[in-house]
A and B are shown apart, each in its own frame.
Chain A
């Protein structure tokens, strides 16, 4: 099993839609989790950090399910500007590596 697996996408949604991505991780010792956003050919930038069961920031909600070892990202009221690739990365809980998921591509259309 890969350390981090994500829905590959692409997710094509209309403006205003609600969309959710999942990310599964294999290291049960992971305590912190991060969602990054990456625009085409740009560096990844942090979208949300999750240190407990979840986090919410405006239209974005991250939920953590430790029992099933996955974290989800929910985007409500999608905007054209949300079109990007979303990367999941679990904290390594003692292992000294920061391994990213392959990313989920989102395309929001008018």
Chain B
């Protein structure tokens, strides 16, 4: 019953450090997404992968890179973290883009100091 698993759950970075957020799903879904959510605000799409081997920019891609490693895994990388990237990051997956429901991981709470 794992669904979507994100690691780590919490992280504190110093400005300029890099890190990779990991996401894996065990539902054989084609599509995967990364969102960020700032306090009191909605989800904003960073990057998505409609299927294995493809990735595309979302609403707020600057400062991030992604890799769809295989059908199960979709990672998000911050090359040089900035305080503006302090946020909660959610990974999600769905069977097909915009058709079936999306399932979310529990989120990664990232603080950049």
Contacts and interface: CB of A to CB of B under 8 A. Distances in A.
Interface residues of B, number: 26
Contacts of B82: none
Contact of A97 (B48, B88, B90): B48
Contacts of A92: 97-98
Interface stretch (A11-19, A59-67, A75-83, A99-107): A99-107
B98 A100 contact: no
Contact of B99 (A46, A91, A101, A103): A91
Interface in B84-108: 88, 90, 92, 94, 97-99, 101-107
A39 B31 CA distance: 24
Contacts of B99: 31-32, 91
B4 to A, nearest CB: 8
A96 B99 CA distance: 10
Interface residues of A, number: 27
A70 interface: no
A95 B103 CA distance: 19
A73 B41 CA distance: 20
Contacts of B42: 87, 100-103
Interface string B30-71: 010101000001110100101000001011000000000000
B57 to A, nearest CB: 9
Given A44-B104, A95-B98, 18 more contacts: A43-B104, A43-B105, A44-B43, A49-B101, A87-B42, A87-B43, A92-B97, A96-B48, A96-B56, A97-B45, A97-B56, A97-B58, A97-B98, A98-B45, A99-B59, A100-B35, A100-B45, A103-B42
Interface of A: 30-32, 34, 41-46, 49, 87, 89-103
